[in-house]
Structures are given as structure tokens and as C-alpha cells.
Structure 1
Amino acid sequence: MTKQYKAFQFRLLPNKVQEVLLTKTFGCVRFVYNKMLEERIETYEKCKDDKEMLKKQKFPTPAKYKSDFPFLKEVDSLALANAQINLQNAYKNFFEDRAEFPKFKSRKNKQSYTTNMVNGNIKLKAGHIKLPKLKLVKIKQHREIPADYKIKSCTITKTKSGKYYISILTEYEKEITPAIIQHVVGLDFSMDGLYVESEQGKKANYPRFYRQSLDKLAKEQRILSRRKKGSLRWEKQRMKVAKLQEKTANQRKNFLHHKSKKLSTNYDAVIMEDLDMKGMSQALHFGKSVHDNGWGMFTGFLRYKLEEQGKQLIKIDKWFPSTKRCSHCGAEKEMPLSERVYQCSCGFVLDRDHNSAINIKREGLRMLAKSITIKTLGTRGLARST
């Protein structure tokens, strides 16, 4: 049995008093983060040439600021402690060249904080959840959390439209046995439909929710631009824009969840290209189309759904010539974006994306067979040596 982690997200419905305390907590977490970062920057400027010295420097704790700023005592101390951990992780990523130098948090940033389960301070009780400092908060729990799942932490978030959500991270034990790979599918990224399958060329038929709402969104944003910033009418119009954007994001997420669930249920392995979506959107000037698809989000959903069942998500090299290669005879030729049908000199004719998906599947199967062979040889070698 191995430890697994799963998060459950629910709508939080705080009362007016709890909303005030949540706003204070968001602000205090941001304040402590910025204060600690300010001190670290001063230290960094003094000895930035000596990275070893910087790594040894200890972070100040949130308790240090409570005497000078008594309002910090009003909020959850675990939320402040997590702000310190987040900054430490940001610094660690910077020193390991995985991220840029940490930046100050602004009020315009995402408003959220995380608190941890300590001595039963978080509990679900009949349509409510008990949280530190907030006590019982009404929750819209649309599904049950299994009794053997242990709550580890909770992250409370406020959206731009003023809605509150809580993400409950749980820990459980489960024995995941690797699935026998029998049914495999290759997916080729499609700009207008998310993906095309290698099996019969089935398409995801993504509805392009952002494109559908573009005219309405542009109209509401034009109205917002004419309002005086900070006025009641400006705030009312800002809320309209935020709700429209949030609806589009929720529609996209719901669609991607359904498609990834279907694929993870029907196939034992899914093969796709390891694409650089940011580079693709910049190089090909397809920014809106690429981001509307939510390919990165879809990949993340698909990965964890497959792994839960012991199945595999296989990514082939992005430079593999899946588009140029004929899936019938193996010959290659140049394929401009305007050419939507693959016509080979051998007489083979097929939709461009379907042809590419078949090539992706074959390359993934080759990689899969190779990895299985290496594992088998490794096991035999071990047996011989013993």
C-alpha cells in the first residue's frame, strides 16, 4: 500500500463576519510574505555574489512581526506559516535555476491562503466545515469524501467575481497495480478541436468557449473602460466581466474533465507529443486558439486520471516528424499548415491530423516496447548475477 493524495474542491459560503476575517487573512498572508521578502532582498543585495552564504541565511518567522503589527494575531497563524514556506520554496527554486527571483505580492494577485490540519482543527459537519478562526462555515458539498481519506490541509481562494472556494487536500492508502496494456490511443493536438484520435480519426470537437464569448466579453469590457475606476458603476461592471470570464473558464474545465475521464476509462495507455504550447502560440501567432483549448490543463487531468488506475501517459519527442511521415509507407514530405489532407506518392490519402495521430501511436508503442525490453533484460541480468 502506498500513500496517495487527492484534492476535493467545494464552494464556500461564508457569512458577512467570516468574509471580513477571510479578507483580513488574505491581506495578512500577503503582508507577511512581502515583509519577509523585503528582508531577504536586503540580505541578497549585501552578499549576492556568495550564493553559499545566501543559502545558509535563515528566514525570519511570522512571529517576529506580531509584536510590531498586532493585527497579525487576529488571523490563522498556520496561514502565515505557510506564507513563509511558500517564500522558502520560491527561493529554493531560484537558487536551483528553476524560477526567477521571487516577486512581491500585489492585491491584484490571486487571493488565497492555506491552513493545515492540526489536532482536529478542520472537520466536515453536515453541510459545514470547521476552519481555524472562522469556526463553522457553510459549504456546498456536492460529493462525499471517503471516510478513510485523511484531511491534510485546506486552501481557501476568492475569485475575481467574489466567490469563495475551498480545496481540501486528503491522504489515503491504495495499492495501484500496473494495468496490462491492451488498448492504446495516439492523440494529435488540433488547434480547432483539441485533439484527433488515431482510432478512426475521432475528434474531441472542443466548442471553443472563449471564441463563443468573445463578442459579448469585448462589449462588456468596452463599457468597463468608460466607467470611472473605483466608482460603484465601475465595480458593478467589473463584476460582470469577471463572471463572464469565470463562466468560460468553468465550461472549459468541465469539458476537459469529461474528455480526460473518457480516455482514461477506455484506454490503458495514451500517447501524445511533448509540445511547447507557449512557444507554439508565439511562433505561429495562434495565442488565443492555443490558450482557449487548455491543452496543458487537459494533459494534467489525463495524467492523474491514468495514474490512479495504473495506466500510462506516454509523451514522444516534439521533433518527431509525425505530420511529415506517411502512416502507410513511412515516406516523408513537407506539410505546410494550409495543407489539411496528407497525399503520399504511394497513393495513400488521409486527413492530416488523423495521419499524424497514427504516427504518434506507433512511435509511442515503439518506446513502450523498448522500455519493457530494457526492464526485462535488467531483471534477467540481476537474476544471472545472483
Structure 2
Amino acid sequence: MTKAERIKNTIRETRERRKALRPVVFQLKLQNLSGKKEELLERAFLEAKWLYNWLVSDLERLDLPVNKVNMVEVKVGETFEKRTLTVLGSQVKQEIADRLKDNLRALAMLKENGHKVGRLKPKSFVNSIPLKQYDVTYSLDFARNRVRIQKLGSFRVLGLHQIPPDAEVASAVLVRKPSGYYLHVTCYLPREYFCYPYKLGEAVGGDFGVETKITLSNGIKIDFEVRETPRLKRLQRKLARTKKGSRSRGKIRLLLRREYEKLNNRRKDAQHKVLAFLRLYGKVVFQDDGFKGWAALFGGQVHSSGVGGLKSRLRDSLETPVVVKRFEPTTRECFACGKQHELSLSERTIKCDCGWTCDRNLNAALVILRKGLGLGPDQAVGLDRPELKPLERKAVARILGSNPYVRVSFPQ
């Protein structure tokens, strides 16, 4: 058996084994960096930008053995100068080329589907470096809380304790953020790792909204919103008064990136809390809403909450998500009899001739739950009388109550 055949068999066996596992990304922060280490990391990201732009300027260079490229041409002003790649490992160079090939394939697929696409352009900065091969391009030392990166050396990291002992470590990405340097490690864990010892209920329906971000069929309303801070607005005004290319402009841009990172972390934390609560249900039913149309009317409220990101994460992270089609009528439909009503945005209560009166969002959540379970109006007996259990109230207080940007209201 040749070496190529052995590699193919190994890749095939790995894919089959990982079908029973789930991928999870753990974030590790590089700690206690000396001045020399920071210069080394900055040089690595600079060389990654040089190599990527060198490949983008002539795509035929992708046919070359990129792992053996040690010198590239860099545009400086109106001329080109040669730069030597000193800190990028051979596998890392090849992985940067593979990432570019993946980008080209993604553009080709979009073009086939009728989307208008342009050509790839050189980047002014690169903030991530792929490290695909564990124990080759990088390795983890759990005993000493350290990570070794090819040709960059060993670094102390924070957060290595998050990775369970039975996790199968796969690829990683070295990321540069305004707050520091991070290593995003992808691990594969058994599905039993995501099973909770108890369930709050068999199924729950959720309706996305603007005023209340998500209304559950049991009557719980969850709202979360992280608005722009006064500091961010001050920095934006200062940036507008600076001269392009000046040193002060660069400093303010760095402060802006840090402020945006803080806001993004707060929104992600709110999403984490909502996801952790919804995982306690057997099935979560929600509608595939299109938030791009919402942003045209309620841009500030939609963007400050990141509700679109929550929807995509519900689809990808939950154990058993059930998605109702986007154009399925839910808000206008009566839960009790199925009759369609014409409702304006100002009407917050639905009143039907059959005697059903309900809050607009709660009615939509109940209809979504019914349709997700495949039940008709005459079969959904008991769904309209959900009993909010004391266990659910405790779970809400324990999980959602720890975030000051999440507001929860219970049914009266």
C-alpha cells in the first residue's frame, strides 16, 4: 500500500468515526507574552498577509509547492520589494494556500447559484492563521498549560482546562484580536457529553420578535439588547476629526476595535445563556424568519441584539431543532381554529370568532409549536394551557439571571 493510499484510508476512517461525535470550539488565550513573543506573533501575521496577497495577485502560483516558498514580492508604494518568510512553518504556508482555494471554490458555487461575485483582492491585514495538523503545526501540553506552535515556540495559555480528557483534538486557528492573541481549538466530543440529566419539557416553541426577542410557548418572554456605549460614540466622533494615515488615527481605531469587541462579547454571552436554557428541552421549534427585512425597519434593535446570529446557532447547536418554513403563516393564524386574521403591527392581541384571545407573540409561538409537531388545530389539545413549572423558573433564574443584558418576563 502506497503512502497516498494510507493517507486516504486514514482520512476515511476519521470521517466515519467523527460521524458519531460533535465538534466544539474552545477558545484559549495566550498569556504572559514577553516583548519578544509579541514581536514574533506580529511577524507571523504580517508574513501570512504577505503570502496571501502574493498568491492572490497571481492564482497560478497555487500550483507551486507553496510549503517551500521562502521569499515573496510585496508592494511598497509603487514598487515591489522582496520579503523573506522566516517564522511561518511549511505546513502553515500550505494551509494558507488551501484556505485561498476554499475561498475560490465558495465564490464559484455562489456564481453557479446566480449570485454576482467579484474577484478576490489583496488584504490590508490578516487576523487568523490556520493550524490544521495537531501535533505537527501545534500541540497542547495539558500538564503545564502550554501550547507549542510550529516555529513560534511555546506559549502559556488560559482556558486549557475546558477541554475534556476524552476529547479528540483536531484543527486550530491562531486569532489576533484587539484584546490579545487567542487559539481557537476544534475538538470532537461524544454526543452523550451534550445530554443533560433532566429535561424541563418534551418540546417548546419559540417566536422571534423585535420588541421581545423570543417568546416561548410556555409564556416566558426573553429580551436581550446591547446598545452602543457613550464611549463608542465619543471615539467615533474623535475618529472623524483625525487625519487619514496619522498616528493618532491608528490609536483611536485600535480603541474602537476593543470597544466593538466588548460589545460583541456581551451579545454572544446573551446568546450563550439563551441557548443553554433552550437545551434543557427535548425539542425546540422555531420559524426560519428573514431578519434582513426586519433590519430595514428596526435596524438598531435587530443589530444590537444579534437575534439573527441566535437563530443560526439554534439550528447548528441544538440537539433536536425543528424548523418551520419561513413563509408559513404563524402570527396571523388562530391557534385554536386555524383561521387567518389580518393584523397590523400595532395590534398586539389576536381575538378570534371562536373565542380564542391571546397575546400576539404567544399565539405565534403556540402555532409554531403545533406546526413543528405536525398537529392540526383539533389535535393540539393541552398545548394552549402550558403550566410553568417551578423547575423552569429556577432554571431561568440560574442561567439567564446572571446576564444583566437579558430581561425575562413570566406569564401572569
What secondary structure does 2:207 align onto?
A: strand
Q: Letter of the 1:343 partner, please give it.
A: K
Q: Tell me which of 274, 282, 285 is aligned to 1:268.
A: 282
Q: Letter of the 1:91 partner, please give it.
A: L
Tell me, yes or no, if structure 1 residue 209 matches structure 2 residue 226.
yes
Q: Tell me which of 127, 133, 141 is aligned to 2:159.
A: 141
Cα distance in 2 for residues equivalent to 1:281 and 1:135:
46
**CA separation of 1:105 and 1:278: change in aligned 2, threshold 3 A:** farther
Tell me, yes or no, if the aligned pair for 2:62 and 2:97 is still in contact at 8 Å.
no
What secondary structure does 2:276 align onto?
A: helix
Tell me, yes or no, if structure 1 residue 298 matches structure 2 residue 298.
no
Tell me, yes or no, if the aligned pair for 1:36 and 1:60 is still in contact at 8 Å.
no
Cα distance in 1 for residues equivalent to 2:374 and 2:352:
23
Cα distance in 2 for residues equivalent to 1:77 and 1:279:
46
Residues 138-169 of structure 1, C-alpha deviations (whole Å, 9 max, x = no match): 2122633122223222211112x242221011
What secondary structure does 1:336 align onto?
A: coil
Cα distance in 2 for residues equivalent to 1:352 and 1:254:
28
2:294 corresponds to:
280
Any unmatched runs of 5+ in structure 2? 1-16, 73-81, 377-412
**CA separation of 1:303 and 1:345: change in aligned 2, threshold 3 A:** same
2:363 corresponds to:
355
Q: Tell me which of 77, 82, 88 is aligned to 1:75.
A: 88
What secondary structure does 1:205 align onto?
A: strand
Q: How many residues align?
A: 340
Tell me, yes or no, if structure 1 residue 332 matches structure 2 residue 349.
no
Q: How does 1:21-40 map to 2 (within 5 A)?
A: 21-40=40-59
TM-score of the aligned structures, taking structure 2 as reference length: 0.74
**CA separation of 1:32 and 1:9: change in aligned 2, threshold 3 A:** same
TM-score of the aligned structures, taking structure 1 as reference length: 0.78
Residues 308-339 of structure 1, C-alpha deviations (whole Å, 9 max, x = no match): xxxx1011111111011111222111112222
Q: How does 1:229-248 map to 2 (within 5 A)?
A: 229-248=244-263
Q: Letter of the 1:353 partner, please give it.
A: N
What secondary structure does 1:260 align onto?
A: helix
Cα distance in 2 for residues equivalent to 1:274 and 1:232:
46
2:70 corresponds to:
66
Cα distance in 2 for residues equivalent to 1:337 and 1:113:
47
Tell me, yes or no, if the aligned pair for 2:134 and 2:169 is still in contact at 8 Å.
no
1:377 corresponds to:
none
Cα distance in 1 for residues equivalent to 2:191 and 2:358:
44
Tell me, yes or no, if structure 1 residue 226 matches structure 2 residue 234.
no
Cα distance in 2 for residues equivalent to 1:203 and 1:23:
46
Q: 1:175: Cα distance to partner?
A: 6.2
Q: How does 1:341-380 map to 2 (within 5 A)?
A: 341-366=349-374
Q: How does 1:141-180 map to 2 (within 5 A)?
A: 141=159, 143-159=161-177, 161-174=178-191
Residues 164-198 of structure 1, C-alpha deviations (whole Å, 9 max, x = no match): 22101123455699999961111111113321001
Q: 1:87: Cα distance to partner?
A: 1.4
Cα distance in 1 for residues equivalent to 2:135 and 2:148:
12
Tell me, yes or no, if structure 1 residue 85 matches structure 2 residue 85.
no
Cα distance in 1 for residues equivalent to 2:119 and 2:30:
30
What secondary structure does 1:286 align onto?
A: helix
**CA separation of 1:252 and 1:128: change in aligned 2, threshold 3 A:** same
**CA separation of 1:119 and 1:233: change in aligned 2, threshold 3 A:** closer
Cα distance in 2 for residues equivalent to 1:6 and 1:73:
32
Cα distance in 1 for residues equivalent to 2:315 and 2:69:
42
- Amino-acid identity (%): 25
**CA separation of 1:361 and 1:202: change in aligned 2, threshold 3 A:** same
Q: Tell me which of 100, 104, 107 is aligned to 1:94.
A: 107
Residues 23-62 of structure 1, C-alpha deviations (whole Å, 9 max, x = no match): 222222222222222223xx6xxxxxxxxxxxxx973332
**CA separation of 1:240 and 1:123: change in aligned 2, threshold 3 A:** same
Q: 1:209: Cα distance to partner?
A: 0.8
What secondary structure does 2:259 align onto?
A: helix
What secondary structure does 1:22 align onto?
A: helix
Q: 1:234: Cα distance to partner?
A: 3.0
2:409 corresponds to:
none
Cα distance in 1 for residues equivalent to 2:52 and 2:65:
10
1:124 corresponds to:
141
Cα distance in 2 for residues equivalent to 1:149 and 1:12:
21
Q: Letter of the 2:257 partner, please give it.
A: A
1:47 corresponds to:
none
Cα distance in 2 for residues equivalent to 1:70 and 1:225:
34
Any unmatched runs of 5+ in structure 1? 44-56, 369-386
Q: 1:204: Cα distance to partner?
A: 1.0
Cα distance in 1 for residues equivalent to 2:155 and 2:37:
8
Cα distance in 1 for residues equivalent to 2:375 and 2:56:
45
Greater mean alpha carbon deviation, residues 62-71 or residues 16-25: 62-71
**CA separation of 1:58 and 1:157: change in aligned 2, threshold 3 A:** closer
